[in-house]
Chain A
């Protein structure tokens, strides 16, 4: 019985995701389980600093999604507000990788970046959870 709170805590932490720099190992699954996404950043994410990511989009079997239309939004659910910017994909880098520019987070706390991917007749959204 004592183990249960620990397991719940571990599960919670796993689901929370993480915003640590260079966390490019981590993958997030889309809501309906069509795609998976990960991102890379050059420097640790700092609040109040406009910056860019490289997004990688793959199918569930790990194949790169090369012709995705991607839209990005996000916000802080606890504060009921969005991001201070409107980030967008500015370049298709090939091999399922896309340059996403114009991200800025202006508060510490829990953020959600929702990446909507449209490809191969499917539309699905990946929610990337960050704790800054």
Chain B
């Protein structure tokens, strides 16, 4: 009996030791020299910020890459006179210290805006703007809040008057676009579009910088010769494995900005007390009717390269679909989703884990059934995407030097 009991005891100890070793091996597996398959390395490369191509020129905006325009655009972005009550500027909702968001469920201008304020960092890469993509260029988007009664509440005549006639901006404007001639056909609308084009030139400078995730991938790609393979913790690496694998996040959050810039219905519940938001199905109708869209008369591209708009999809399938946000702007930008319905990253992950039925349209996502430990690992990975904005400090606040356009 004693021998038998000892044997059992030894077996239990051996089993326990094996289990501990196995758990340890599993836990530390990602830190082994080659934790990723070749196919996974290619996925990681595709998400790496080093894969971000140079920003393409915007032929619809002749001043898109003119530093004088960016400087004027920056001044207008922070100028509260661009509003009906002289209290609201673009920066009221797009606050630089919050990655150009505001920390609120919905933007707060003169009144409550309809949706959550999106970050504008890296947005110059997107063919669509706004949650519903109702704009197809940065410059066209920049115009809409100025005349939205809930946001700036101003109008194009006042805006054009401030920029083209006021002493502060007139010289800078005229150097870029020539003098404002009220006799010219469409003079106000043309000048209004020009205002948007300067703001766009400023926004094109706001890009994300490499995060710890990018340092990790850089190190992985060159065999850790110049990078830091320990840039990510074990939990973050396990989260990354889930991100590109079982959790399926890269189906929509793909490419170096971790977004496909497209529209998906993921079953996010409507804002309390509101009917469900139709999203893209309505946004695309507005886009096609917009005189400031890519094919409209205010684009500077005489050949009208508007492939995205020309082949854009419309129809009821896009009901309740919203544009995938970049995951490079998660830090200090809660609450999340199109109306800020979800307060924390963990709650966002829990939402995708459950994939509830959509209130309108259908939820494209399927339940993930991940454990709470796995959700924490995913959250850890998402936090490792945080990084400062790449633009120099001079672009990240109210401009302090000189009058726009005069100090080049």
Contact = CB atoms under 8 A, between A and B. Distances in A.
A17 interface: no
Interface in A34-60: 47-48, 50
Interface in A74-101: 79-88, 101
Nearest to B308: A50
B312 A107 contact: no
A48 B254 CA distance: 9
B260 A107 contact: yes
Nearest to B324: A106
Contacts of A33: none
Contacts of A109: 251
Contacts of A48: 254-255, 260-262
Interface string B355-372: 000000010100000000
B181 interface: no
B274 interface: no
Nearest to B251: A107
Contacts of A47: 254-255, 260
B307 A102 contact: yes
A102 B311 contact: yes
A84 B254 contact: no
B252 A101 contact: no
Interface string B251-280: 110110000111110000000000000000
10 contacts: A79-B251, A80-B362, A81-B317, A81-B364, A82-B313, A86-B313, A102-B310, A106-B252, A107-B260, A108-B251
Interface of B: 250-252, 254-255, 260-264, 307-308, 310-314, 317, 362, 364
Interface of A: 47-48, 50, 79-88, 101-102, 104, 106-109
Q: Give 6 closest A-B pairs by Cβ, nearest first.
A: A102-B311, A106-B262, A106-B260, A85-B311, A107-B251, A84-B262
